[in-house]
Chains A and B, each alone.
Chain A
């Protein structure tokens, strides 16, 4: 008897595989055989099959699910379709993902909303590049359960060897992908063998039919997850009630539990778990509830509640896999909007460590990510955000990136790990601050940031300028590219990503020295505008003075004080700024020094002259 009340939550699964491996036919078959196709729809289907069908007049079940006019005419599926059916045991939501390579993003969309994937394999063709690509995307998006449906067994004579060959190929290929279960089933979607009804043509198959497996599949995460609750909406109908509405993302919370706001670290007790059907004593993952906390804790939409002893990382730098979904490529340094949980924040990719070739899983170098590319990236957010690695928690380790100019959803990402352990460190408020130090020394601290090509005279002028400042009674410190790379930054090379990190560290040190009350001179090629701007934004307005050493490349190469240009041109130094790595000149530097044909001492005079004009008389 159909009890009508299903005891398992619906199973959300995805169908994928190469074009023409029979995805749409399989879904049509599942709907048809679970007796879910109404008569009027079947009549329409028979009519459609004569017009568009590919089965020679027979009813083409694929037409049941190929929805939009355009794709019907093209005979391909161009978007994810969600289909619903149920048996007496369970309800199902199927994401029908397209097979064409250019729609990888739709496939990923389907995978992000699914707990299990049915990968179709043509019994005659075996594992194809698309099969591999889709299995990789499933793995990258954290799907842990896979059914390898070896389809078109009717065309392979229902032969056990054909099934075992195809299934074996897939099992071998999928072994390193980290799936928890991979279950092969021989089927014929067109004729229904082993889909819902057990096949009379393949008595050698002793395992479950496809539907039996789906009805009983356990797809919950392995082990228990810590409590995570993204605050979605603050429910404040009057002065007496203040509740935090949201859906428990993982784990469990009970009345009386102590929870903390991940970002601020503030703690409170859960005094009530409110629902319209009455208060609950506890709530678990998937429950939409309203939590009331004891005391007047400052909590807003976007905050994440968690247990005090199992907190997520809180960081503004992290590494993640990013799938790019926009025609406009992803560029490091460009600002996007990131949504993670209920939190929106500006964000940029600081470095693409590598691109992942989804056919082979090989790592390849990349400077940008094109549509459908997957890259391993470092990201930086405008404020610290709470998260868990995606592998540990799908609910709190995923994010999307939105283009600020078009508002399109441009990328989707899964967090790998935080890049700084600033996570667990709380800022200490010092008793002595910059103002107190300035009162003591009587000098206004600032940064003189020298930027320009190698050989443009940065170090020379900076050193002379520091001597003049010192003689005038200023407390100074000179940070020089070469010196810093001997110590603080000796682990960094000259790739774009390392250059970005090099400047970031120097910027942080310069900021501390400014805080200490010093005049800081920094001499770095610092080729990218984005990074110089980032340092500028670290300190107060007026404390960052950019000095552009405006020397033509030809002149720098003529000077070549360290013989580097010669080496670089001989191919001994890759990524050399001005040659095979770009230099972005400042757009509005406070000070520009044209050095060609001028003695360094004269440039220092010009520099001091400008400093005076900027309110720093020496």
Chain B
């Protein structure tokens, strides 16, 4: 592990300690927790902190990656390398029914695609393994409806999120009572900002997918953003040809839905420096959020993470 303690500020140390406390609490309180691992930077930070939280014991829960079959190839390679390096118990779940039905991000539309390949897939995996709690890397600063999200977010049987039926959280005394079928989503990074995540990645030497760094990549212009041509499945319009540009990603997901920004930031330090001047939000690159107003809140009610 990179030893960079000298660089950790009191600000980051406090956030790290808080996340450790939340993870230990969930492991002590729940029968069968799992960590959702999306391969992104937030997942990377969450995993890094989890390994600290239970040290010297091994991670007392498996990792779950909900794959859609459309993730960047580099993400999959990175995921498998990290899992092997740390000897992690990694579960990869794909909604086979969705694949059979031919659901893809193009013909099906991003709303149906997300519903089937992410939301439904997640529910399938949680139910199949009987997990009663799932750690997620969501932060309150990401998006408006998340600002009111609990750290321990209660889901009724069927995984639905009812904003009116959330338990108040006072003094970090979490009410973790559960009945059969009910579950929790637990967000250890609730109080982190995107900036904190990058500062932490830098200070602690947390490994991240190289897609976060600027490199020349084959891209096409779509909907005001750059989409990477990660494989031959991306349908090109007549006359449309990929061009090579120096781009990086602020968030990672399914490659046809993840927009890149032009950048020369080829190192983490340069990315963090660019962040300081950033004048667009992190989720701008995500095509699924801008479908309609309050899209996120609706997706959450249906059980999207």
Contacts and interface: CB of A to CB of B under 8 A. Distances in A.
A93 B141 CA distance: 10
Given A7-B10, A290-B55, A301-B28, A82 B170 contact: no
A231 to B, nearest CB: 10
A4 B276 CA distance: 9
Contacts of A448: none
Contact of A400 (B7, B147, B170, B199): B170
A301 B179 CA distance: 21
Interface in B130-166: 140-141, 144-145, 147-148, 163, 166
B147 A409 contact: no
B9 A80 contact: no
A65 to B, nearest CB: 7
A8 interface: yes
A68 B17 contact: no
B168 A325 contact: yes
Name A's interface SS: mixed
Given A10-B15, A40-B280, A112-B171, A288 B199 contact: no
B170 A412 contact: yes
Task: List the 3 closest pairs (A to B, CB-CB), nearest first.
Answer: A237-B57, A5-B9, A276-B52
9 contacts: A6-B11, A40-B284, A69-B294, A84-B141, A113-B170, A233-B27, A276-B1, A402-B175, A407-B177
A400 B170 CA distance: 8
User: Of residues B58, B147, B167, which shows the largest number of chain A Cβ atoms within 10 Å of its Cβ?
Assistant: B147
A6 B11 CA distance: 6
Given A5-B11, A274-B55, A233 B24 contact: yes
Contact of B24 (A8, A69, A246): A246
B178 to A, nearest CB: 8
Contacts of A236: 57
A272 to B, nearest CB: 11
Contact of A91 (B24, B196, B281): B196
Interface of B: 1, 3, 5, 7, 9-18, 20-21, 24-25, 27-28, 51-58, 140-141, 144-145, 147-148, 163, 166-173, 175, 177-179, 190-193, 195-196, 199, 203, 272, 276, 278-281, 284, 293-294, 297
B278 A38 contact: yes
A304 to B, nearest CB: 14
B121 to A, nearest CB: 26
A86 B193 contact: yes
B17 A286 contact: yes
Given A83-B140, A91-B193, A275-B55, 18 more contacts: A7-B10, A7-B11, A9-B11, A10-B11, A10-B191, A39-B280, A40-B284, A41-B281, A65-B147, A67-B145, A68-B145, A79-B148, A82-B148, A91-B11, A340-B173, A342-B25, A407-B177, A408-B167
Nearest to B28: A233
Interface string A28-40: 0000000000111
Interface of A: 2, 4-10, 38-41, 64-65, 67-70, 79-86, 90-91, 93, 105-106, 108-109, 112-113, 232-233, 235-237, 241, 243, 245-247, 274-277, 286-288, 290, 301, 325, 337, 339-342, 394-395, 398-400, 402, 407-409, 412
Nearest to B166: A79
